[in-house]
Amino acid sequence: MDRREFTHGILNSTIGAALSGLASGQGSTTKFKFSVMLWTVFTELPFEQRLEKVAEAGYCGVELVDEFKHWSETDFRMANAKKQQLGLTFDATAGVSTGVAVPDATESFQKDFRGLLQIAQRLECPSIIVLSGDRVEGKAREVQHAVCVDNLKWASDIAEKKGVSIFLETIDPEENRRVYLTGVPEALEIVRKVNRPNVKILYDFYHEQIAEGNLIAKLEKNVDLIGLVHIADVPGRHEPGTGEINYANIFRRLAELGYDRYVAMEFFPSKSDPVSSLRTARTQAIRAANNG
């Protein structure tokens, strides 16, 4: 490594650490941290450059879906080294192919979950996102509900040994008309029945606004069961402030409720500069939270 490369590495590390402080609300009353769900941004760039862009926007977390699907051992090492250099964390990952609520697919779910759990360990990632899967014709909802509870209990047991949390996410019926779990209320029921500290819901305000609305009331009543929140506006899945959701009120209420986990941006930037869009979204969230 020559002097220029060394200096560039030190500068990146310093900037990354500083931006991580800003992203987590350092110097403010904001307790929650900020992340970016990577599938929505910088998709034309190599993975390491995508991480650089996230850090440039001032975020401390990155969430993955299947970016690692074809990685070699060297790719995993490089990704971990880069995130450490930039002061980032892989805070959550999705990628369990089999839905957690699909009857007669328990063996497949367990295999998929074990595989992603191994990947999460390699990524030093503390959380896994799971989906319900589709409704099954001829099966009562009660059956799929019970399967979801049983599979999450099993997953909780093996994940807990690795220090990993599980977040159950719902998908609105406009995005997927076949999906079993479309609304937060049933997801909360399921998590209560599982009754394990490492199993919570992923409260995606975008999906829930389309599915059922009433966003803040559900947040207030159930904040203890929320492990992660995702942010995008309706319609269009663009940045906060472009649509019908009053995100200033949501960020303010998250702060008032003492929410201290990740707030992940999962939107398609509507402007030509995604870094600027992400930076603005984070800044506005911190401002709203501190004006509660």
Q: What is the pLDDT of residues 113-167, one digit of tens each?
A: 999 999 999 999 999 999 999 999 999 999 999 999 999 999 999 999 999 999 9
Quick check: 25 pLDDT over 90?
Answer: no
pLDDT of residue 291: 86
Quick check: 249 pLDDT over 60?
Answer: yes
- Strands 61-64 and 165-169 turn out to be unpaired
94/283 Cα distance (integer angstroms): 26
List of domains in the chain: 3-290 (3.20.20.150)
Token couple for 79? 């990704």
Mean pLDDT rounded to a whole number for the chain:
92
Confidence tier at 27 by pLDDT (50, 70, 90): very low
Rounded to an integer, the average pLDDT of 173-179 is 97
Quick check: 16 pLDDT over 80?
Answer: no
pLDDT of residue 173: 97
Quick check: 111 pLDDT over 50?
Answer: yes
pLDDT of residue 30: 80
pLDDT of residue 8: 43
* Phi (first) and psi of residue 263, to 5 degrees: -110, 110
pLDDT of residue 172: 98
Rounded to an integer, the average pLDDT of 24-38 is 76
Please tell me whether residue 111 adopts helix, strand or coil conformation.
Answer: helix
H or E stretch covering 122:
helix 106-122
Phi-psi category of 237—alpha, beta or left, where left has phi over 0 and alpha has psi -120 to 50?
A: left
158/164 Cα distance (integer angstroms): 9
Quick check: 36 pLDDT over 60?
Answer: yes
Look at the pTM and tell me if it is higher than 0.75.
yes
Report yes or no: 86 and 53 within 8 Å, Cβ to Cβ: no
Token couple for 224? 């203890």
Quick check: 175 pLDDT over 90?
Answer: yes
| Chain centroid, CA 149 distance in Å | 21
